[in-house]
């Protein structure tokens, strides 16, 4: 599958995956993501991520990173944004911790 996202769309995809990994996207998580991307991008990517299977999401992230060079600093920044999504609602559950660890490995 060829992924033709902008960098902003990719980052929205990753952050929305983080928000929805435990099947509960909170208002605080949504608001944090909307502070990073415009509403049009959010809605476009939200529609896609709702229909993607978890295996496809992980593969999409890996493929995008292979096709697009991310600097160490950009990866670090994205990891921090992912962390902010997880902490946005004040709690981090077991599923979120596991997904965070997996995303950290992918982004290193």
Predicted structure pTM score: 0.93
Q: What number does CATH give the domain 7-107?
A: 1.10.3680
- Residue in this structure with the two tokens 């982004």, named with its chain if needed: 107
- Per-domain boundaries in the chain: 7-107
Q: Which two tokens stand for residue 99?
A: 């997904």
pLDDT of 2 reads: 59
List average pLDDT for each run of 10 residues in the chain, which is 108 residues long: 85 96 92 96 94 93 92 95 93 92 93
Q: Are 62 and 106 in contact (CB under 8 A)?
A: yes
Nearest-angstrom CA–CA distance, 105 and 83:
14
Q: What is the pLDDT of residue 69?
A: 86
Euclidean distance between CA atoms 97 and 72, whole angstroms: 22
Whether residue 37 contacts residue 8, with contact meaning beta carbons closer than 8 Å, is answered with yes
Q: What pLDDT does residue 1 have?
A: 57
Q: What is the pLDDT of residue 108?
A: 86
């Amino acid at each position: 599958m060829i992924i033709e996202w902008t960098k902003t769309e990719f980052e929205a995809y990753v952050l929305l995956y983080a928000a929805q990994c435990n099947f509960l996207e909170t208002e605080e998580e949504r608001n944090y993501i909307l502070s990073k991307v415009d509403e049009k991008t959010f809605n476009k990517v939200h529609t896609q991520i709702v229909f993607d299977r978890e295996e496809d999401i992980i593969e999409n992230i890996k493929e995008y990173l292979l096709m697009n060079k991310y600097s160490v600093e950009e990866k670090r920044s994205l990891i921090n944004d992912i962390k902010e999504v997880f902490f946005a609602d004040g709690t981090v559950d077991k599923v979120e911790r596991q997904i965070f660890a997996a995303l950290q490995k992918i982004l290193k």
